[in-house]
Amino acid sequence: MCRKRKNRCAVPVEGEPCVECKATGRSCTYLLPPPARPKKDATSQSPTSALTDLPLPPLTSTSLTQPSNSLPALAPTARPAPSALKRPRVAFSAGEPAQKRAAVLPAASWTPASLDRDLPEGVEPCAVTATLTDDLLNHQTVGTSRQISSDHSRAQFILFHATPSHRPLLDDFEATTLRRVRSFIASTAPHLSEETLIDHYLSFIHPTLPVLPLSPIHPPDSLPPSLRASILVETLGYFPSLRGNGDYAWRLLKEEKLGERMLDRPKLSSLATAILELSTSMDPRGDYALLAKTIAHAQLLGLHIDCRSWAIPDWEKSLRQRLWWCLRIHDAWASFLNSRPSHIQAGNANVPLPTFAAHTTASDVDSTEISFVFACRLALVVGQLQAEVSTLDNYGSSSRADACDALEKDLNALKESIRGYVSAHARSPGMDCLLFCLFALRCMIRRINIEVRIGLGSAFAPDGNTLEIFAEFVTFCSMLRESSFGAEQSWLPYTSHILSSVLSSLVRLSLASLSSRHSPSASVTSHASSFDRPATPTSSPVLLLGRLCSVLHAARDSYGWTRADAALSRAASVAERLTSAMHADAASDDYSEVIAALQSTNLAEDAGMDANGAGADDALVLDALASLAGAAEEGGYGEMPAAVDGLGRLASSAGGVSMGDSLGLFGSNALELPDLEEWLNVLDQPQEWGQDVGFDASVGSGW
């Protein structure tokens, strides 16, 4: 268009005036250059204009007092800006670099605004995972958008929407819920004050799944009512004498759908409330749906994106990372154990793993961080197992066996990396649950590794290396003490399912070992390996089964550990079925040894505990736990701490051959599938054996 008249022009011939100017006889200004802008003298430059080239992201306000320059003002309730919070004016010369000017500014002026605390009422943030076009940034449903990344090579946009009017107000609901919880605790546990429960949660439960901000500006008194109510109920259930009361209180909160309703308010505290509800084991199917909704809301808030370069406070960066990995832990275990799809796409999350502080050794790290840091790495292994072995795409694929081999190596490497931390912090919060899940997962992957080769549900005789893996798990369980089942050790809600699954595997190993004694195929001659060596009495499957059942009976009867209920129920069911099978068919195999093991309650003799039910002394427990880590193998996660000397008691206490002497049955490249089929000694009539045991819900459904 013509520059002076601002009318649209059409120039049919280059160099000639436009059509409209030619028709009106006016001088055409189409080709005139833009007028030169007046330049200010360098000495007259204002301090504010000197800050324009600072590498600041747009979201840098310390509060929501300046919505036009920092956070969006979509709600009329935004507070006016107090003069004390304005950016201080600092005089600079025009030639100074931006970095030098930034270093001179007071630190308070660089405190970024929080996407969680500083948004005005009625505004909801939504993160854009990958910006392909600008359509989303200018959509009619978006009030405004901000680019909050200080990494200019990777922009990160946050969209701000007005809260829909149909969303329910939750203030009264939260206050009523907290009031009911306080009344319930006051009537059932008057000796426990609210401050005592909060302190206990922060000391022993929170380190396992750290869902609270770790910052001086977030004292316990600042907890939102819904989150505070969940913490009180969660802590109440950890006291052995009050577990029934804790379950009842959780049932009340679930009836109110506390976690799901709080997700209507897009806050990090709402995610923390839902994660605490996911830590119960009352409704696994309902929790799977709640987990999906919680992950969806976390992704709306951008928790699946690496936020280290975002212009938000450090406490919020840390909290976002920890909340996301709490969800990763829940998603990995819930999807794997229940054979359900994962809610998280591996390619759409880049949040780094939590790590220890730089330049710290195993003895120097904060003991409250250990269990969570390694639980995140263990969740990665579980997630890989789900993605590479348990998905529909890979079902029946020959690559599943190779994936299991790799995962076994990863677990062995992870076990070795934990060794130094166990030696230095054997009784740190959550350590018992971490080691329990690690040793149990090794048993579960070994069983899966066998069955993907010989077929699901096929019978097999155990080899020495497999028995050694199960012996490590049983030995660890037998070393748990009263404090492990008390209020000072937290456990994931999947403990019951895991225990039941490992017990199911030991039942199958025990039955297969009994049948192989009289089976002609049991005398197969094979290559020299760990299974050729005779099993010692302490490593036989039947004895391992008896020791495990003894530990579970003692934990349930003496300490009220309800997480053993599922495994004990399965043991009783299998014992009843085996007894019925023996009475119905006199010619059937003699299952009396397995039945006695399933009903074993002689803890002092079978489980290695003293007469009072307490475990070994502290020094023995520490040495034994640390010795459970064998030689590290290739692969794995994280750095390997230096080996701890003098920790070699497992081989003699658990029986069988030592890890150093045995050959990896499924980890050796020299072993081919025909050899494996020969070694596994498939029984002559696996169908009848499976029917005797009852593979439906009693033995084989835990996988």
The percent of residues in the chain predicted with pLDDT above 90, rounded, is: 40
* φ, ψ (nearest 5 deg) of residue 144: -160, 175
| Residue 189: partners with Cβ closer than 8 Å, 6 or more residues away | 236, 239, 242, 245
Q: Report pLDDT for 396.
A: 67
What is the domain count for the chain? 3
246 in Cβ contact with 237 (< 8 Å): yes
* φ, ψ (nearest 5 deg) of residue 149: -90, 135
One domain, residues 426 and 476: yes
Closest CA to 421 of 625, 562, 154, 186: 625
Q: Which domain holds residue 232?
A: 171-348
Q: Report pLDDT for 631.
A: 31
584-592, Cβ contacts within 8 angstroms, sequence gap of 24 or more: 588/692, 589/511, 589/514, 589/515, 589/518, 589/692, 590/514, 591/511, 591/514, 591/692
Report how far residue 484's alpha carbon sits from residue 236's, in angstroms, rounded to the nearest whole number.
16
- What is the tens place of the pLDDT at every residue in 260-271? 999 999 999 999
- What would the DSSP string read from start to end of 472-498? HHHHHHHT--GGGGSTTS---TTHHHH
Closest CA to 381 of 336, 416, 436, 344: 336
Both structure tokens of 107: 């630190």
Q: Report pLDDT for 16.
A: 79
468 in a domain, yes or no?
Answer: yes
Q: Tokens 């795409």 — which residue?
A: 393
Report how far residue 609's alpha carbon sits from residue 6's, in angstroms, rounded to the nearest whole number.
93
Residue ending a domain, choose from 318, 348, 378: 348
Q: Report pLDDT for 517.
A: 60
Bridge partners (DSSP) listed for residue 126: 159
One domain, residues 336 and 401: no
Higher pLDDT, 549 or 455: 549
- What is the tens place of the pLDDT at every residue in 56-72? 334 333 333 333 335 55
One domain, residues 192 and 316: yes
Q: Which class for 317: exposed (0-12), middle (13-18), buried (19 or more C-beta within 10 A)?
A: middle
Residue ending a domain, choose from 315, 348, 381: 348
**Angle, CA of 615, 492 and 576, to the nearest 5°:** 70
Report how far residue 321's alpha carbon sits from residue 279's, in angstroms, rounded to the nearest whole number.
18
One domain, residues 426 and 343: no
Report how far residue 301's alpha carbon sits from residue 289's, in angstroms, rounded to the nearest whole number.
19
**Side-chain half-sphere exposure of 288, counting CA atoms within 13 A:** 14
Both structure tokens of 269: 């505290």
431 in a domain, yes or no?
Answer: yes
Sign (positive or negative) of CA dihedral 599, 605, 609, 613: positive
One domain, residues 397 and 544: yes
Residue ending a domain, choose from 301, 321, 348: 348
47 in a domain, yes or no?
Answer: no
Q: Report pLDDT for 459.
A: 66
**Which range is most confident: 31-35, 131-135, 152-156, 298-302?**
298-302
One domain, residues 435 and 327: no
One domain, residues 417 and 544: yes
Q: What is the pTM of this model?
A: 0.72
Report how far residue 186's alpha carbon sits from residue 193's, in angstroms, rounded to the nearest whole number.
8
* φ, ψ (nearest 5 deg) of residue 521: -75, -5
Segment 579-596 mean pLDDT: 79
Q: Report pLDDT for 6.
A: 60
636 in a domain, yes or no?
Answer: no
One domain, residues 406 and 317: no
Both structure tokens of 288: 């799977």
Calculated CA dihedral for residues 203, 206, 210, 216, nearest 10 degrees: -40
The percent of residues in the chain predicted with pLDDT above 70, rounded, is: 67
212 in a domain, yes or no?
Answer: yes
One domain, residues 471 and 607: yes
- What is the tens place of the pLDDT at every residue in 378-419? 999 999 998 888 888 777 677 888 899 999 999 999 998 888
* Residues, the chain: 703
Report how far residue 339's alpha carbon sits from residue 666's, in angstroms, rounded to the nearest whole number.
24
Report how far residue 416's alpha carbon sits from residue 526's, in angstroms, rounded to the nearest whole number.
31
**Side-chain half-sphere exposure of 692, counting CA atoms within 13 A:** 26
Longest dimension (CA), the chain: 119
Instruction: Indicate the DSSP class of residue 120.
Output: P
3 state DSSP class of 522 = helix
663 in Cβ contact with 465 (< 8 Å): yes
154 in a domain, yes or no?
Answer: no
One domain, residues 383 and 285: no
Both structure tokens of 404: 């299991």
- What is the tens place of the pLDDT at every residue in 212-260? 998 888 888 899 999 999 999 999 999 988 999 999 999 999 999 999 9
238 in Cβ contact with 200 (< 8 Å): yes
One domain, residues 372 and 336: no
Q: Which of 39-43, 321-325, 348-352 has the lowest mean pLDDT?
A: 39-43
Instruction: Indicate the DSSP class of residue 581.
Output: H
102 in a domain, yes or no?
Answer: no
One domain, residues 180 and 213: yes
196 in Cβ contact with 204 (< 8 Å): no
3 state DSSP class of 390 = coil
610 in a domain, yes or no?
Answer: yes
Higher pLDDT, 529 or 651: 529
pLDDT band at 4 (very low <50, low <70, confident <90, very high): low
Q: Report pLDDT for 97.
A: 45
3 state DSSP class of 659 = coil
